Structure formats: structure tokens, C-alpha cells
Amino acid sequence: MTNIVRFIGIMIPILLSILACSNDQVHHTSMPTANSRHSDQQSVYRPDLFLENIAFPFGEGLGQPLESGTPPSEAKLIKSFALSRSEAEVHIYKSGGDASPIYTGYLKGKNSEWKLGNLTNFNENQAWINPMNFLTGDVSGASIEIPFGKIGAKNGLVIYHHKTDSWKIIDFQGHTAIPMDLDNDGVPEWVGNQTDWVPPAVEIHRWVAENDRFESTVIQWDSSLFPNEAKEEVFYSSLFLEEGKHFIEIGNKDGYAFFTFDHGFLKQYKPVDTRSRVLEMQMARQHH
């Protein structure tokens, strides 16, 4: 009997201790983690976190350099496109046999000729070039809708300066960019809506007439434009088109807002429907 009493006296504190630990564990796992809190906050519409009107910085668009050169004598000229108001032309030459043809692009100016590069997967029957008639003054140009160059750019822009007989090539750094008139002024911007980036980001290339050049930006966090946020804060941007209107959702872990693009400015747009399109897009991907 004494041994039984002693055994019960030992086991009761142990059982109470296990029960207490069990209760602690239930309360701990029911608390939201930091990650879950951030996930919840990503879906919060908070236009008050952002400025109403933001002059977003643009810089001169990067492009690949050209090599001077002429096509080999055995190559055959198969396509030619003359740029408006200039003596410049874009040429495509074909060499090799029909079984494995090699297509190469060249840019011919007033007194010079440059190699645009190999044109991978070129189809002789496809639409491959379009004039940019909005360019004026000393500049002519066209958009080319074929993969080209050393880095395999998916499409790009060729710009010719009459006075200096020189070219500027914009290859969108190898990304796909689509022309669309974001601010409805009759002049397209070339936009890369990079939804596969982590986090997603909008890349914009626009013509700046006063500088006679294309300028570009990637909409990222900039502490000078969002002074109340930490410099290292991660944020996302993504472009949407609804009922004929382009707008950009910008957000971070604290909240998001919507903006339209207007001649280099981001202006807050407050739609009736304020749900996070980016969150919906991510959830839809998770279910596929």
C-alpha cells in the first residue's frame, strides 16, 4: 500500500507537467506567425501609405553595341525596310542552303553599315518590322518583332540619328516588351509586365522627345519617393487592364495601392473594386 501511494505521488506531478506543456503548445501553434501576418497584410488596401503623385525616375535605355560590317558576298538580300525621312534601311540577308538557312540583319546608314546580328527562328513570311512614325526631328526608327543579336533579344527598337549617321539599339535587355499607350497620348510605351519575377515588376520604356531618346525604368522601391519606408523594403508592381483602362498595383508587406502612368508620373487611381489583383493572380497559380 505504501508503494502504491508513493507511485501515485510521483506520477501526479509528472502528469500535471505533461498537461501543462500540452496546453502551452496548443496556445503557441494557434498564434499567427510572422509569415502569416505578412501574408494577411499583403491583401490590405492602404492608399494612405503612398504619395498621390510620384515623378518616377527614368534613365537612358540600355542597348547592345553594334559591330561594323558588310554581308558576305554569297549572302542574298531577302528583306529591306526604309526608315522614314532618312537614307537609313534595315536589311535581312540569307546565307546557307534552304535546309539550314542563316539569317542576319544589317543596318545601313548614309555612309555606314552595321551588323544587327543573327536572327534566330526568322520566318520569311512573318511581319517583322513596323515604323515608329511618332519620332520627329533628327531621329527615325522602327520596332523589330524578331529575335536578334548576341543575347537573343526577343524584340527591340532600332533608332537612327540622321546628323551623326549613328544607330541606337534597344533590346529590352532580352525581355519581351509589348507596345501599349499607357497614357492615351498617341505615343506607345514598350512595357514588360514581368509577372514571373520575384517579386513581380513592371518595366517601362518611353520616348522622351526633348531628349531625343528612349528612357526606361523598372518600378521598384525608391526611398526618396516613399520616405516613410525602409530603404531595403521589398515591394512588387504589376500591370492590369480592365474595361480598357491600364493601371498598376504597387504594394509590399504593409499594403498596396493602384496607380496610372501619365508621362513619367505615377498617379494614384482609386477604383471601386479595391481587391488585390496580384494576390488573386498568385492564388490562381497555386491552384493550377
In a shared domain, residues 224 and 166 = no
In a shared domain, residues 141 and 183 = no
In a domain, 32, yes or no: no
In a shared domain, residues 96 and 192 = no
In a domain, 265, yes or no: yes
Q: How far apart are CA 128 and CA 147, in angstroms?
A: 10
Kindly report, residue by residue over 119-148, the tens digit of the pLDDT: 988 888 889 999 999 998 899 999 999 999
Mean pLDDT of the chain: 82
> What values do phi and psi take at 210, rounded to 5?
-65, -20
Q: Is 174 exposed, middle or buried (0-12, 13-18, 19+ CB in 10 A)?
A: middle
Residue whose C-alpha cell is 511618332: 134
Q: What is the pLDDT of residue 120?
A: 85
DSSP classification of residue 235: E
Cell numbers that stand for 36 in this block? 502569416
Query: What is the model's pTM?
Result: 0.80
In a domain, 235, yes or no: yes
In a shared domain, residues 180 and 281 = yes
Q: How far apart are CA 262 and CA 264, in angstroms?
A: 6
Q: What is the pLDDT of residue 222?
A: 63
Examine the pLDDT at 149 and tell me if it is beyond 60. yes
How many separate domains does the chain show? 2
| Domain enclosing residue 102, as ranges | 57-173
Q: Which of 173, 195, 220 is the last residue of a domain?
A: 173
Examine the pLDDT at 18 and tell me if it is beyond 70. no
In a domain, 112, yes or no: yes
Examine the pLDDT at 14 and tell me if it is beyond 60. no
In a domain, 248, yes or no: yes
In a shared domain, residues 182 and 84 = no
In a shared domain, residues 87 and 124 = yes
Kindly report, residue by residue over 46-56, the tens digit of the pLDDT: 999 888 998 88
Q: Which of 173, 196, 223 is the last residue of a domain?
A: 173
pLDDT, average across residues 250-270? 93
34-43, 102-111, 173-182: range with lowest mean pLDDT: 34-43
CB 122 within 8 Å of CB 146? yes
In a shared domain, residues 61 and 147 = yes
Q: What is the pLDDT of residue 21?
A: 38
Q: What is the pLDDT of residue 2?
A: 42
Kindly report, residue by residue over 150-209, the tens digit of the pLDDT: 888 899 999 999 999 999 999 998 889 999 999 999 999 999 999 999 889 999 999 999
Q: What is the pLDDT of residue 13?
A: 41
In a domain, 2, yes or no: no
